[in-house]
Chain A
């Protein structure tokens, strides 16, 4: 079934909750509705179900204006699965699912229509709750209840399923079970789905398209990979994220990094000399604590390089598997010149990147504060016969500060940069 929303606005009193929202949901499509709390997702859903009185010319189902449908036609068009359902009354699962037949009832006096019982059983089988049929609804777990409510929705024989954060109270396996079930119904019955979802990764994994609402406006709509970019998420949620491709599902997934945008501490920068994966944790933690960073010299395929790029840290890079060239080294040294402090991580040192240690010496000689992550007592990562260890010891003797952990480094750097004020 096709749903057209054109120029839909809605206000609670004076506060405008939806502002000129327009979009289309295609037949058999799985659309995710996303957005921060209070962005109007649930209101939009309630305008579709007419629970809230929207502008009659704003919503069309299969080209028919929503207000021309009777209550019962509406209930056979949309079935709704809320966040959670509960009742103080001792309904059995079968009774709850049978309620889905209310809009199909022909007569008030006669009981159910012929075939209702069969349809109800089929709906319970389809959503995997038939074994619960004679249990009391109130004694089921959250996941079981959602299955029952989905069965009730199926018993309505709707053309579209509207879900309002159906997995919000479920544990991770429950979330996946319910979403798999919804996806299956979407595929096998080409049931149109509109689901309000909070979990970005769940949405990215299951939705054909995502509509992103922000302060009542439709900010973006499209396939997950188009909508869920670091830029849109930053602008809508105010959260810094990294977006990755999942090597197994080829879907995308989103990792939050920090909600604090880096407070440049007096504009003073810290240069991190790292490599071989040793720098990632340092870079991440320092960014989270608001330090302005640069990094070098890193080979392009190094995981530290990817980490630095992800974090939008300026990085002096060298082509993969190559020695540090003189030109790159000059770039690195000029970065050090612009920095207030230099951090030397415990990276594996070989002939190719020995220049990074020499750069640390250069920094010390030029009056920069140098921090060395300790670990000389750990198994050596020196691949050039002791020269690297000797160089590190030399640094410490010449005044470099040895720190035992990233936490201590963060603390000491904080003190150092504070002293600048």
Chain B
């Protein structure tokens, strides 16, 4: 013991490289906010037509782009305004909203499950939504009834799945998070089999499903943005306002209770909020993995575990992260759009392994 305490007297706290941000979380959040603004602006300029991008078949000049974005009169083709205002701007905003929603839901889930491996999809949202979206796609409802059918079906089936998982993990009104986690895994596996079955019979229609299954913002419309903006803002604010209580919950439910935070209420509120914003997000854009898992982790390394700082940081960075991932996905292969889920997983996978190694060697998960 003497050795242990002697050691720890000398050794500074882990993550002290970033101690500056931990001491000044407000400054960090302001910086992230500025980063988000800059990212949004730059991402609007990114595209096949440029000004940032390959510029095929023609390249929009920066000044034309600025004129078009600001809708000023000028000497540029009329469709430039449409490129920015009907395609890129709603797309970037949607990416930002979904990124914020997923990162925030991920943070909340990790707190509820007291498990750094939890993500927004842990209670079956993604697998439930997949069944809805894939069925809708296969029956061909999209073309018959309208563009909102598939998202609606995905949203509803996601919520039904969450409800089933929730019921499985609840005994006499008390939520048991370990049971909840296992039910989520089991039901996700079950629904995954159904989705595979549907895909198997889809044969040639299979390709239409890929963008949704791997997540894509190609479908972005202003209407999607308007539908998502209020629930997402409301949800992330709710998570932020209960930040102190989430801190307490990470020390165990009994400790949370003893600190005046009602753990049952908190679990139910956070599960509902996270499920709703996640289901809303994936209904439109498909399953975008890793954002909800790694963004909270990255932010925890930078600002620490206190949710009063962690939640806003995750929301802002989650939005920026997905905006950049989308910008890369639509330009990295000229003339082709990659599903954004591929980009997030490409970045997320190696980073996750790094975290895993870090937690193995340092003993504490950041």
Contact = CB atoms under 8 A, between A and B. Distances in A.
Is B one of A's binding partners?
yes
Q: Which 6 A-B pairs have the closest CB atoms?
A: A75-B260, A103-B260, A89-B305, A108-B241, A80-B258, A72-B260
A6 to B, nearest CB: 23
Contacts of A85: 251-252, 255
B364 A99 contact: no
A136 B14 contact: yes
A99 B242 contact: no
A92 B244 contact: no
A297 B251 CA distance: 63
A139 interface: yes
A26 interface: no
A99 B5 contact: no
A95 B15 CA distance: 15
Contacts of B262: 71
A121 B314 CA distance: 28
B116 interface: yes
Contacts of B114: 87-88
A51 B257 contact: yes
A88 B260 contact: no
Contacts of B255: 80, 82, 85
Contact of B13 (A80, A92, A96): A92
Contacts of A135: 8, 13
B4 interface: yes
A141 B257 contact: no
A78 interface: yes
A102 B116 contact: no
A90 interface: yes
Contact of A49 (B19, B257, B305, B364): B257
B22 to A, nearest CB: 8
11 contacts: A49-B258, A51-B258, A75-B258, A89-B116, A90-B304, A90-B366, A92-B304, A95-B247, A95-B304, A96-B251, A100-B259
A105 interface: yes
Given A71-B262, A102-B245, A171 B1 contact: yes
Contact of B305 (A78, A95, A141): A95
A140 interface: yes
Contacts of A138: 363-364
B306 A95 contact: yes
A141 B5 CA distance: 7
Contacts of A50: 257
Contact of A91 (B257, B260, B304): B304
A367 interface: no
Contacts, number: 108
A88 B241 contact: no
Interface string A55-92: 00000000000000001101110111010010111111
B14 A99 contact: no
A111 interface: yes
A72 to B, nearest CB: 4
A134 interface: yes
Interface residues of A, number: 40
A91 B247 contact: yes
B86 interface: no
Given A71-B261, A99-B248, A139-B363, 18 more contacts: A51-B258, A72-B260, A75-B259, A80-B254, A80-B258, A82-B255, A87-B250, A87-B305, A88-B364, A89-B365, A90-B15, A90-B301, A92-B22, A95-B304, A99-B247, A99-B251, A102-B248, A102-B260
B88 interface: no
Most B CB contacts (10 A, CB to CB) among A74, A139, A171 go to A139
A170 to B, nearest CB: 10
Contacts of B13: 92, 134-136, 139
Nearest to B16: A134
B300 interface: yes
Contact of A140 (B8, B308, B365): B8
B364 A136 contact: yes
A238 B327 CA distance: 74
Interface in B27-84: none
B143 interface: no
Contacts of B257: 49-51, 71
B115 interface: yes
A144 B4 CA distance: 11
Contacts of B4: 141
A156 interface: yes
A109 B241 contact: yes
Contact of A89 (B254, B259, B300): B300
Contacts of A76: 260
Interface in B1-21: 1, 4-5, 8, 13-15, 19
Interface in B260-299: 260-262
Contacts of B305: 87, 89-91, 95
B115 A102 contact: no
Contacts of A95: 247, 304-306
A74 B260 contact: yes
A103 B288 CA distance: 38
Contacts of A79: 258
Contacts of B248: 99, 102
A46 B257 CA distance: 10
A171 B261 CA distance: 32
A111 B19 CA distance: 20
B245 A87 contact: no
A125 B248 CA distance: 22
A105 B241 CA distance: 12
A252 to B, nearest CB: 30
Contacts of B365: 88-90
A147 to B, nearest CB: 12
A90 B298 CA distance: 12
Nearest to A46: B254
A144 B304 CA distance: 20
A99 B304 contact: no
A98 to B, nearest CB: 8
Contact of B258 (A78, A88, A105): A78
A102 B251 CA distance: 14
Contact of A102 (B5, B259, B304): B259
Nearest to A89: B305
For B8, B260, B301, B366, the residue with the greatest tally of chain A CB atoms inside 10 Å of its CB is B260
Interface in A134-153: 134-136, 138-141, 144
